[in-house]
Amino acid sequence: MSLPETLWARWVRHAEALPDARAVVHWRAGEEPTTWTRRALLDDATRLAHVLREHGVGRGDVCALMLRHEPRFYPLYMAIAALGAIPSVLAYPNPRLHPDKFVHGLSGMAQRSGLRWLLTERGLESLVTRVTNAENSTIQGILFPHEWPRGAATAMACDASPDDVCLLQHSSGTTGLQKAVALSHRAVLQHVDGYATAIGLSASDIVASWLPLYHDMGLIAAFHLPLAAGITCVQIDPFEWVAMPALLLQVIARERATLAWLPNFAYNFMAERVRAEELDGVDLGSVRMLVNCSEPVRADSHAKFLERFAPLGLRADTLAACYAMAETTFAASQTRPGSAARVLSVDREALRAGRATDTRDASAARRCVSSGIPIGGCVLKAVDGDGREVADDAVGEIWIQSESMFDGYRNDPEKTAEALRDGWYRSGDYGFRRGGEWFVVGRKKDVIIVAGRNLYPEDIEDAVGVVPGVLAGRVVAFGIDDEVLGTESVCVIAESTVRDEAGQRELRLAILRAGMAIDVTVGRVYIAPPRWLIKSSAGKPSRSTNRDRVLGGELAAQ
């Protein structure tokens, strides 16, 4: 292992070794990409660092970046690190999010994280000024870096040590602003080096990504990993990808990219939304790993993606998976390169009872996809409700120890105490181990308990998601207390374009039948219009938030 260093020192070392090698390439649809060599990227970052220092930014200052993902973002992020300050990428405000909710979330994060500087665009000035003017605000100033001159490119030494905090990233949530995970230079570099070994990273690898950089999958896997390893990363604005999902495939083909990380919904989204005419000349033969980082990973999503894009050279052995979270920097486990993620068919009822038992009865099976083996420096175990480790094939809460694990949530001792126990991170995920591989089956807080039976909402969502008239991937299942029955009742929200009363009645009956097919009685059905469901920062519909919305009367049950 290399001697301890800072991120900036690692970037400088790569720039000195191969100054003309490509570092970051930013793609826009219909335009020539913007490309930085290692030296040019470092020079731009140095210029911006001098300007930041002139504005008063210094070592240890938390600097939030609320900017669209575009070419100037990358050197600006690096410039903050050059000063020994702490970058924290925030989601660009969603137009559908009410301004009051946005201000409330940002104010809470600012106070919890000790935010000093907010780097944003002039168009958001009136909105973010409401936060800076609030009582007890820690924000010292709002900066508009896109309006700055280039500045000087004189050499700069990073004013930080390996054990200093190098970034804040936020756990998944509907605002992504509540739990700030602080990570040191040492933790991030140890993690990306260990993860590089797990995926067999080589100097010839190229990463392609549309992932938002406010989430650990995009920030660590698709940005910090290639920068620290000295390989090329190709970036796409997430909003552009949503509008044109074929763009990722076109970029992979044009750049001969070998690696990409994707949340589970993206496999269905691309399989369904990419048009044939957008694939002329697209060859996916360069890909060696597409890593699914959702928990749990859906086998049907992989199958649908492979069926659609195998004619373009996509191989089954590229469909990989990992188990990842901000609290361990990124990955805790990873499937082996060169082989597809293993799939088990386990009895659904046995799984609900806490045991992974194989079955050949497809109607009674849940297909569980492996998230691989622990990466180097990481240990996983599954425990029961008393914290005792359980055997292979027994379902328990997954606890993790890692050399790159966070020390706690910034300025939040209560949530830290809930998450950590005796050096273990309590993930809140249920899963089991078999043959050294880990299979994640659901979130502890989302499990629905009906008359003593544990129901995983993922099973219900998968069953309802294939009902004709329901938009794929746009289903949420959750439980609510039924005081009459003394247990929970299952509720489903499903997005659909069906709006007439008769059509919705038929759709409701079809959803009830889908539940019965997996031995689940659905108590309430809510039919929502397209784009009604609110997603978490990880891109998955948030069960708790959408539950609160329907219980608050925003949508009537059918």
Judge contact between 325 and 170, C-beta under 8 A.
no
Contact (Cβ atoms closer than 8 angstroms) between residue 155 and residue 9: no
- What letter would DSSP give residue 218? I
Label residue 377 left, alpha or beta by phi (over 0 means left) and psi (-120 to 50 means alpha). Answer: left
DSSP string, 301-337: HHHHHHHHHGGGT--GGGEEEEEE-GGGSSEEEEPPT
- Look at residue 133 and tell me whether its pLDDT is greater than 90: no
Distance CA 383, CA 431 (A): 10
Q: pLDDT tens-digit profile of 283-338?
A: 999 999 999 997 779 899 999 999 999 999 999 999 999 999 999 999 999 999 99
Global pTM reads 0.88
In DSSP terms, 88 is beta-bridged to 64
Q: Where are the beta strands (DSSP E) in 173-296?
A: 180-184, 206-209, 232-236, 259-262, 289-292
> What mean pLDDT is predicted for residues 365-391?
96
pLDDT in tens, 461-490: 999 999 999 998 899 999 988 766 677 899
Instruction: With cut-offs at 50, 70 and 90, classify the pLDDT of residue 177.
Output: very low
Check pLDDT > 90 for residue 260.
Answer: yes
- Is the pLDDT at 451 greater than 90? The verdict is no
**Distance of alpha carbon 534 from its chain centroid, rounded?**
15
Domains of the chain in sequence order: 7-205+213-230 (3.40.50.12780), 350-445 (2.30.38.10), 447-551 (3.30.300.30)
Residue 519 one-letter amino acid: D
* Pairwise pLDDT comparison (291 vs 552), residue with the higher score: 291
Q: Inform me whether the pLDDT recorded for 219 exceeds 50.
A: yes
CB 406 within 8 A of CB 427: no
Question: Mean pLDDT score of the chain, rounded to an integer?
Answer: 90
| Residue among 144, 141, 160 nearest 12 (CA) | 160
Report which DSSP code applies to 376: T
In degrees and rounded to multiples of 5, residue 519 shows phi and psi of: 65, 45
Q: Does 171 have pLDDT greater than 70? A: no
Higher local confidence (pLDDT), 42 or 138: 42
pLDDT score, position 322: 97
Is the predicted pLDDT of residue 342 greater than 80, yes or no? yes
Nearest to 345 by CA among 335, 328, 356, 359: 359
CA dist 301 and 304 (Å) reads 5
Q: How many CB atoms lie within 10 A of CB 17?
A: 10
- What residue has token string 């924000």? 139
Query: Which tokens hold the place of 161?
Result: 């040590």
- Taking CB atoms within 8 Å and a gap of at least 24, the contacts of 409-416 are 409/179, 409/180, 409/181, 410/112, 410/113, 410/114, 410/168, 410/180, 410/181, 410/182, 411/112, 411/113, 411/114, 411/180, 412/112, 412/179, 412/180, 415/179
Sheet holding 62-65, edge to edge: 86-89, 62-65, 115-119, 141-143
Q: Coil, helix or strand for 292?
A: strand
Maximum Cα–Cα distance across the chain: 72
Average pLDDT over residues 421-435: 95
Q: How many CB atoms lie within 10 A of CB 449?
A: 12
pLDDT of residue 130 exceeding 60, the answer is: yes
pLDDT at 173: 44
